[in-house]
Structures are given as structure tokens and as C-alpha cells.
Amino acid sequence: MPISALMALSYAAFAIFVIVVASKWVKWSSMPMHLRWELYPVPHEAGRNQYGGSYIEEVDYWKKPRETTLAGELKDMFSEMLFIKRVYEYKRPLWWLTYPFHAGIYLILAWFFLLFVHGILSVYISIPVLAKVVYYLIQICGTIGIIAATLGCIGLIIRRFSDKDMLNYTAGVEIFNLFFILIVLLTGIATWITYDPNFQHAMEFMKALVAFNSAYLPKLTTIAEVHVILLCLLWIYIPFTKMSHFIGKYFTFHKVLWDDELNVPGSKVEAKVRELTRLPMPWSAPHVDTGKSWDENALENPKDEWGRWKY
């Protein structure tokens, strides 16, 4: 049987999400190397990360082998990703709202993944025991996820409006984003309560998607259809907005705040520096020789009538 319009929208939403996220990833990773701007503690500094020290604490550090710890980096990364550690430490009242919201979203993402696994097990590989485990995990993740995310989202909206410190800095689109998510969650709750209390239809919907066959599609109620459409639109919308900060966060930490890679003669870093300092300077202030390269500007500074450097 051919695929239905809702299935087509679901495929499109997922594809657009992946493509836009990937293109953003490419955009950020292809940016030029910047000057070092790390911020301590840098968690991969072996033996020093507890107090925020760096390899620069050693005499002749550039001659010595670097001692780094992946475990330190992973610990910091996961405590931030999974527990939002910094908000917990520095803004606890907000954490009680943002944590259920984010944890709920993680559980909903896990729920999607489990639905996918369940679909594969229904269509392509039959492992009844595993299917049973997945079935129960779907119940747990889906139930806790949607309740936590909805409560967190409502809390964040209330906080956004009641806290002037936040409201005064908030643009219309940021309010819209929160309400958009809330509407998707509320239609999800309505669908769950009125139509699909055991996520049976959700599993069937995913089975149809996995099999590329609309014969498996359940008959959806209007609220379920509205929910699927809104959910697909949200998937399409997220990567275009700053709700995709999960991408940015990788780069802010790994490529800026923890980037302490040393430049030594013959290194890749030196080759990049050489290339970048050949770029022409477009700036217009009096002390800049506009159009000359960074190197020319830095090394061949014009001299005044006394033979002294001019700037």
C-alpha cells in the first residue's frame, strides 16, 4: 500500500531535521580556527582538573607529553547534559523547572527510539522477549516523559512571564517556541488519554513508518492527527532555531572553552595560523593598513619620521 500523507510528513520532518542539524554541524565545524580562549577548569587536564590547573603549570611544558583524561571530559559533559549541573549549582529555582522539561524531552526521545526498535521487531526481526521489554520501556518513558516535559514547560512559561529578569530579555519568538512545544505536548497528552493510553497506536504508527506501508496505520482521531502534524512541524522547526542549542553546546565547550591545543613548530595549528594570518584585514581605523594581511599589519608596522613604529 502506498504511504499516507501523514507518513510522508513524518519522513520529511525527520529528514529535514537531520539535514539541517548536519548542515549546522558542518557550518560550525568549518569555521576558522580562533585564538585560544579556554576557560578553566578544563576537565580533560589529567590530575589538575579538580582545581582548574593546566599543563602551563609545568616548567618547559611545551617539551613534555600532554596528560589528558577522557573520563574527566565525559564526566563534565554528561553531568551537564543529563543533569544540567550548572543551573543546579548557580540557579537552583530555575533548575526545578528546566530539569523536568529537559529530562522529559530526553525520555520522549528515548520513547521515539524505543518505538522505532519495536517497529523493527514487529516488521523485520522477531524477538518476542525483547519486544516485551521494549513494550514496557515504552510505557515508562512515554508516561514519565510527557508528564515531566509538560509540567516543566508550563513552569518555564510561568517563570518566563513572572521573572522580569528573564521577560525583559525575551523576544516574541522565544515565547512562541515555548508555547509551540506546550501545544505539541498538550495534544500529545490529549491523544494519550483519549485515544492511546498504552501507546498501542503509536507503536502501530511507527510500524507503518518502519515498514513503509500504510496498511499498518491505525485509524487516527482528529486530535491524534493534529498532534502528529504539529509534532512533525516542531521537528522541522527546531533545527532552525536556538532550540538546537544541543549543537552549539558541543562547540562552545569542546571547541572554545576546552580548546587548549598548543601551537608548536611544524604542527597543524601552526599551518592554520600561517594560513589565517595571510588574510587581508578589512578594518578601517587609522591604525590599520586596510587590505594588507594580518601578518603584514603585525610585522611591517609603518614607521614615523623618527624611524619609530607608528602605531
Residues 36-55 that bind other proteins (CB under 8 A): 36-42, 45, 48, 51-55
CB atoms closer than 10 angstroms to residue 210: 19
Sequence-distant (≥ 6) Cβ neighbours of residue 121 within 8 angstroms: 127, 130, 131, 134
**20 lies in the site for other proteins, by CB under 8 A:** no
Residue with Cβ nearer other proteins (56 or 140)? 56
Residue with Cβ nearer other proteins (56 or 70)? 56
Contacts (CB under 8 A) with other proteins, residues 268-297: 269-270, 272-274, 276-277, 279-288, 294, 297
> Which residues, listed in sequence order, are joined to residue 303 by a DSSP beta bridge?
309
Sole binder of other proteins in the list 20, 21, 33, 123 (CB under 8 A)? 33
Q: Which of 147, 43, 66 is nearest to 101 (CA)?
A: 147
SS3 call for 32: coil
**162 lies in the site for other proteins, by CB under 8 A:** no
Quote the CA–CA distance of 182 and 187 in Å, as a whole number. 8
Q: Which of 31, 30, 28, 45 is nearest to 259 (CA)?
A: 45
Sole binder of other proteins in the list 86, 140, 197, 212 (CB under 8 A)? 86
Q: How far is the CB of 42 from other proteins (least distance, A)?
A: 7
**304 lies in the site for other proteins, by CB under 8 A:** yes
Number of residues that make up the chain: 311
**305 lies in the site for other proteins, by CB under 8 A:** no
Residue with Cβ nearer other proteins (124 or 306)? 306
Retrieve residue 33's grid coordinates: 580556527
Binding mask 235-264 for other proteins (x = CB under 8 A): -------x--x--xx-xxx-xxx--x-xxx
Are 11 and 211 in contact by the 8 Å Cβ rule? The answer is no
**What is residue 31's DSSP assignment?**
S
The torsion angles phi and psi of 175, rounded to 5 degrees, stand at -70, -45
**26 lies in the site for other proteins, by CB under 8 A:** no
Q: How far is the CB of 122 from other proteins (least distance, A)?
A: 39
Binding mask 197-236 for other proteins (x = CB under 8 A): ----------------------------------------
